[in-house]
Structure 1
Amino acid sequence: MERAENTRRQRARPPAGRGENTEEREQERKAMETELKTMSRLVASKKRMTVDEISQALGLTRRQVFYRLEKINQVLRPYKVPPIIPGSVLDVAPLTRKALLTAVGGGARLHEYEFTPAQRQLVLYLMLFEGRDHLILSDFMEALDVSRNTVLGDLRQLRQSLETNGIQLFSDRRKGYVLQGKETDLRRYLVLEVMKEIAAIADVQLFDLFLENTQADTFQETEAICLELATKYGIQFAADRMTEFIYIYLFLKMRICNTGIHGDVHKEMADCPEKQFVQSLLKATGSAAFMETEEVSWLTSWILGISFGSVYEDTEDCLLIADITGRIMSRFEQLTGIRAPRPEDMFVKLYSHIRPAYYRLLYGIPILNPLTEKVKQEYKDLYQIVARAVNPASRLAQKKFPEDEIAYLTMHFAALYEGMHPSVQDTRQQALILCRNGIGSSAILHSVLTELFPELEFETADSLEHWSGHKQPDIIFAARSLTRIPETGIPVVTVSPVMDEQEKLLVLREVNSLLGQEAGIPSVDMILSVIRRCCRIQKEEELRHALSALFARKDPVFQTKEEGLLSMMDPGLIRTHVQCETRPEAVRIAYAPLQERGMITEEYIRRTIAGMDLAGPYVVIAPHTALLHTAAEHGARQQGLSLTVFETPVVFGSPENDPVKYAYALSVPQGTPSHLTAMAGLLKLLEDPGFADICDTHDPRRIWDSICLHMM
């Protein structure tokens, strides 16, 4: 009997570790539920998304994304709606989107919301930033509806992140958990985290629930006030920037109400429309009584940093911003030899971005550009050139331009670069571009899509409500930053402002399919636009006929050839031991290798000399270094770059960089700006002090070998 009882007990007792495995499985199940709900909200937020977008936003592999989409489709079966069809681009029907929102509980309270680990840490920071007295573990556990161990783990991760930003997270029995650090750092961290959340998930429900949980003002109420005031004071926001500002303002308002802590960064600012906007906002939201002068200044600087500038407005800073803009444009032309075909238009567009960028630099206002890494990859040479072109402006502002700012400026110049070949417009079909990222993103997206689809006529707006077109578009191109895409029955294609060639091909196929054209077959104009970006076309009509025959049979393979420095130079274009006395003589001698090969005309040389007489030594780009060039239409026949090393340096008239010892002469025919890779390579070469030493040997073979070595 005793043996039988022991046997029964052994059978009833779970094997060692089974309880632990059960707990692990339960944690895995909850984690999967959280991921499914987060993905459902993300998919429901937009009509079209790519698998890569979801993968990047949630940190999942493509295979994991497809697996979770199958799970979501299982959840949708009882709703009897069209399933989400897995593919490179997900097309979600309106009924399916509504069912998704219903399935994940769109009206959930904060403690019912399914958080990712990063979102839990963001909520913890918002609670700490809010400044309530005596926050303890149980407050966090209740707000997030998670275990003590989960909260402790999240606090540990948050503490590490805060420490890298100069902020300390302390806890004691009397005060509970508190933040310690400079108010500037605390606010900067808040701003960046809000930006990251909006950029990554394109879903602001977490913020709305947090505000509701703390009984604060709602976003919708504050947005209505901001829109009215923006119209009153003539302030134009990028839509996403206004969204970020409103949430940050509401969180800041809660902090000041609870703690009485004010910023200590800014003195009182002069009267301007942006300051009047802030003062009216404080009054309209019942905050004027406790908002000190420094807060008005901080918020004013924030508005200056997120609103577009207009060159046509007579503001106190207009001459300063115009000077910075002009310096950047001039430096870009100096470094590339590219002159904007419509410099006035380029100036106006650049000015609109430089003004807010200047105030962001001046007041240390952070910015998050979600396209920075992609810009650096797709426009790597252009990015390097722009990074150097902003140096004079950096010195004027006494601040270094961060990478995110340089990437935005690169997008402006990329729009110019892409648009140097006007496409033939066919007005049979209308297309509308919806882009809320800003002028730079809109400009580059317009240029890229015009190149891809020359048969479409494009217009641009930041939302369908703000579009004033008289004719309904046949298709809408919506930037991926849009959190809500209107239901209109018009085909919508989601695109990124910066696309690689593979993404362009996918968009091409999708648009052709939606417009009833043969999928996958690009137009000849589109192929020609790709070729023009890589090389000069001498017999375009013959090439057009050949492409028409070739691409009528098979899909294209987009390959681009980089025109590097070695493609524009050879040992015969290097001259040393050159003697001359005057600047005009130096220019002629430096151009001689190109002229001897028929790459430039006599008129090209004369125009360079005349240009320097009129505008000064614009060709002097670095200490003792000149890059000779003028407008291509004055006689640039073939691409080429020569180097002349003077025996005795020549005075060109540049106080900072005289005398000139190394003169590069550039020829780039009109309509072939594919030399940017060569110019980026040249700038890297000039930054190596050892290369100047080799040039000083006056040995053409050693100089050429050094150039080749640098380009490897």
Structure 2
Amino acid sequence: MPLSERDNEILNELIRNPSVTSMALEEKHQLTRRQLGYSINKVNDWLLSKDLPVIERTRQGHFIIDQSVYTNFGMDEEIIAAEKPILTGKQRTYYLIMMLVGSEETLSLNHFTSELQLSKNTVLSELKEAQQYLDDYHVLIKYSRKEGYLVDGKEFQIRKLLMNVTYQLLFMQDGAARIKKIAGIDEEELDDYRKRIENVENKLSLKFTDEKLETMPYILALILKRIKKGFAVNTFSIQYEELSDTKEYQATEEIFKKNEHIPMEERLFVTLHLLTASVYSISFPMEDDVIPNLGSATDDMLRQFEKSACVYLHERDQLLNKLLQHIKPAYYRIKYQLSETSSTQVPLSKEFKALHHLVKQSTAPLEQLIGSRIPDSESSFITMLIGGWMKRQGESIEKKVKAIVVCPQGVSVSRLMLNELSELFPEFVFLDSLSVREFLHYHLEYDIVFAPTFLETDKKLFVVKTFLGREERQRLRKQVMLELYGYLPNHLDIDEIIQIIGRHAHIHNEGALIEDIQNYINQDNEDSVNYSMGKAEYNLDELITPASITLKDKAGDWEEAVKEGARPLLENKSITGDYVDSMLRYTEEDPYIVIGPNIAIPHASPEDGVNEVGMSLLRLKEGVLFSEEYRINLVIVIAAVDKQKHIHALMQLMKLAGSQTARDQITAADSVKDIYKIIQSYSKD
């Protein structure tokens, strides 16, 4: 087996300089310890095949080379001309696509067979593999006798493809040489682009990452070649106003200084490339006006993370600025679907996997601003930034109790339980609310489980009701703390503090006051939590309206009651008929939908047929049997579109369900107006 180019270089280095150390070789050839070890093993295999002694290493990192190795090759001779490394299937796909997108020639089948050293049939098979890769970009491989093989599709998509494949090839062995050969790019041209990029850095007062500095000259050279060949970015979704006022747009003058007739669309495309480039450092604070509300959305994300992870991050402004350095280019990458061109996702450590999970749960403010889901590659980098900051401060969620909530009756009740328990145990990290099925396949590490039913688990399990009264909450907290710690830690009831303040002063912003009090209480506690009520999407009276209230004396059976209760939501198209069928299926002999005496909340999952968030109320004076144990007078159908929007209203409903007076008044009411007044009285915080 011939040596690869890298292995050959290392063997030559060892013969020329036998006193070199492992560390020096790793640094010179930019290798990890494992990569160097792999190369040394390959060299030794090759030496054995030549009946020569292997190269040994000492514990101090020095090498022992037998004299016969020097005698056989001589001190001044190169060993062998390194053969081209054999490409993997994926690498062949990248190489083939680069030929299609970047080649200066008209390509025939012979070009591919010659360059890839494959048969015609194998090349045709490889072209099919490449087409599968291109499907994600909505780009086709086409062939004609006149033009040969080429790619066909929107130029914006082809540019995305070009950038991604360039990135992949440059991190392949011999990849840079292959790109230069295919596209006819010489080193002098690349040096010119490197100088232009340095000028851009100076103009923008920033430093791009090493990775970007490596790839940008090739990408810019390839883009310019496509422009010269007449491939133009004409119609695409880049917003002129969003990009033309940026410093990066002005900096494109440095990129195009020898090409004065570059169309505005091309300047915008290169502006986008500069905006999406990851930044290593920046010499001034990030400006919030570049992307309106980006700073506040990032701050909201960080606050939500602090709450979820039960941490209070110090020097938040510095961390916020670091996050913005990454999130600004990520904003453009995500918005214009260029995230795949960013660096390969780094495997996260065990602790960072849990942090990543909490980060992903906290990114809603950014997703709302961008209008797209944040990919894992971007949220992973945010996780590493936040996780590194926490380690610097000595923070770790590994020391904290990590809890999950498992509930068999659907998203609404399980999410409600999670919110209630999070408030009751602010020192715990609550990772998720899960169905029983999700629990059986859950992959994150946790310490305790809360559930309304018994579960098979080797962790501590606390069986709790889906809705807890005040005394039940206090008993549960005492039980859990005694079980975990053997004592009751000091715990201040924030609700009571707020009530005391309210008796003596007018509270302008209760949510902000709660957050400040919580921060003060926990400022010196490593298990601190940044507690925030958050902004509610809906109040109860916004979801249960007069139009969604139905008055009946009785129903024939439970199925009829559910169908009658759901009728207002069916009529206003908030739900489909499939949702009603799913509710009936889920609620067969399921006591967990009963949230209080005489009151039940049948519901199903959003994917079962919810079009819009909503609630409806059916009042039955005589009630209906749900099972032998329960007679239900109030049937409240819940339609949730996600895990959040209806939760605030559901919390208000739970307070109503806990009041016997309110339940009796609604059951006895003679008009929709009277019932709605009661609902309104529970729709205030």
Normalised by the shorter chain, which TM-score bucket?
0.5 to 0.7
Structure 2 matches for 1:132-531, cutoff 5 A?
A: 132=104, 134-144=106-116, 147-149=119-121, 151-199=123-171, 201=173, 204-211=176-183, 213=184, 218-265=189-236, 266-268=238-240, 269-283=243-257, 286-289=258-261, 291-308=262-279, 312-314=285-287, 316-317=289-290, 319-368=292-341, 372=345, 374-375=347-348, 379-421=352-394
Alpha-carbon contact 2:300-2:365 (below 8 Å) kept: yes
| Root mean square deviation of aligned Cα | 5.3
Normalising by structure 2, report the TM-score.
0.55
Alpha-carbon contact 1:588-1:605 (below 8 Å) kept: no
Partner amino acid, structure 2, of 1:633: N
Distance 1:113 1:394 in 2: 45
Aligned to 2:421: none
Distance 1:192 1:48 in 2: 23
Alpha-carbon contact 2:4-2:84 (below 8 Å) kept: no
Displacement after TM superposition at 1:138 (Å): 2.4
Distance 1:115 1:70 in 2: 19
Is 1:656 the equivalent of 2:534?
no
Change (3 A) 1:403 1:361: same
Distance 2:329 2:122 in 1: 41
Displacement after TM superposition at 1:36 (Å): 2.7
Distance 1:323 1:243 in 2: 33
Distance 1:101 1:655 in 2: 76
Change (3 A) 1:44 1:590: closer
Tell me, which stretches of 5 or more residues in structure 2 are unaligned?
A: 11-24, 402-443, 451-458, 542-585, 598-685
2:133 partner SS = helix
Distance 2:160 2:146 in 1: 28
Aligned to 2:658: none
Displacement after TM superposition at 1:564 (Å): 2.2
Change (3 A) 1:92 1:275: farther
Distance 1:102 1:75 in 2: 18
Change (3 A) 1:104 1:340: farther
Displacement after TM superposition at 1:223 (Å): 0.6
Distance 2:44 2:131 in 1: 37
Distance 1:91 1:358 in 2: 49
Partner amino acid, structure 2, of 1:244: T
Q: 1:564 aligns with which of 443, 447, 450?
A: 447
Q: 2:522 aligns with which of 618, 628, 633?
A: 633
Displacement after TM superposition at 1:182 (Å): 2.2
Distance 1:236 1:637 in 2: 35
Output one character per residue of 1:607-653: Cα deviation in whole Å (capped at 9) or x when no partner. Answer: 88889967653799xxxxx9x9646635869899xxxxxxxxxx978
Is 1:602 the equivalent of 2:492?
yes
Output one character per residue of 1:84-119: Cα deviation in whole Å (capped at 9) or x when no partner. Answer: 7599999999xx9xx99965758xxxxx85451444
Displacement after TM superposition at 1:240 (Å): 0.7
Is 1:617 the equivalent of 2:511?
yes
Aligned to 2:670: none
Using the aligned pairs only, state the percent identity: 16
Is 1:36 the equivalent of 2:4?
yes
Distance 2:79 2:524 in 1: 67
Partner amino acid, structure 1, of 2:226: R
Partner amino acid, structure 1, of 2:522: E
Change (3 A) 1:564 1:272: same
Alpha-carbon contact 2:141-2:150 (below 8 Å) kept: yes
Alpha-carbon contact 2:519-2:528 (below 8 Å) kept: no
Output one character per residue of 1:503-537: Cα deviation in whole Å (capped at 9) or x when no partner. Answer: xxxxxxxxxxxxxxxxxxxxxxxxxxx9x95469x
Distance 1:90 1:159 in 2: 49
Alpha-carbon contact 2:248-2:275 (below 8 Å) kept: yes
Larger radius of gyration: 2
Displacement after TM superposition at 1:130 (Å): 2.7
Displacement after TM superposition at 1:68 (Å): 2.7
Change (3 A) 1:311 1:353: farther
Distance 1:300 1:252 in 2: 13
Structure 2 matches for 1:58-97, cutoff 5 A?
A: 68-72=42-46, 83=55, 85=57
2:208 partner SS = coil
Change (3 A) 1:41 1:587: farther
Distance 2:341 2:58 in 1: 31
Alpha-carbon contact 1:325-1:351 (below 8 Å) kept: yes
Partner amino acid, structure 1, of 2:269: W
Displacement after TM superposition at 1:604 (Å): 6.9
Alpha-carbon contact 2:197-2:255 (below 8 Å) kept: yes
Alpha-carbon contact 1:333-1:339 (below 8 Å) kept: yes
Partner amino acid, structure 2, of 1:419: R
Distance 2:225 2:526 in 1: 65
Change (3 A) 1:652 1:223: closer
Normalising by structure 1, report the TM-score.
0.54
* Structure of greater relative contact order (alpha carbons < 8 Å, 6+ residues apart): 1
Change (3 A) 1:377 1:263: farther
Aligned to 1:706: none
2:311 partner SS = coil
Displacement after TM superposition at 1:397 (Å): 1.0
Bigger CA drift: 308-317 or 265-274? 308-317
Distance 1:351 1:534 in 2: 28
Aligned to 1:426: none
Distance 1:316 1:77 in 2: 69
1:236 partner SS = strand
Change (3 A) 1:102 1:387: farther
Distance 2:367 2:77 in 1: 47
Partner amino acid, structure 2, of 1:277: A
Alpha-carbon contact 1:131-1:255 (below 8 Å) kept: no
Aligned residues, how many?
A: 465
Partner amino acid, structure 2, of 1:37: E
Output one character per residue of 1:393-424: Cα deviation in whole Å (capped at 9) or x when no partner. Answer: 101110110110011111012112322328xx
Tell me, which stretches of 5 or more residues in structure 1 are unaligned?
A: 1-31, 56-61, 107-111, 423-529, 537-560, 581-585, 621-625, 641-650, 661-688, 700-712
Output one character per residue of 1:423-444: Cα deviation in whole Å (capped at 9) or x when no partner. Answer: xxxxxxxxxxxxxxxxxxxxxx
Aligned to 2:408: none
Distance 2:270 2:362 in 1: 30
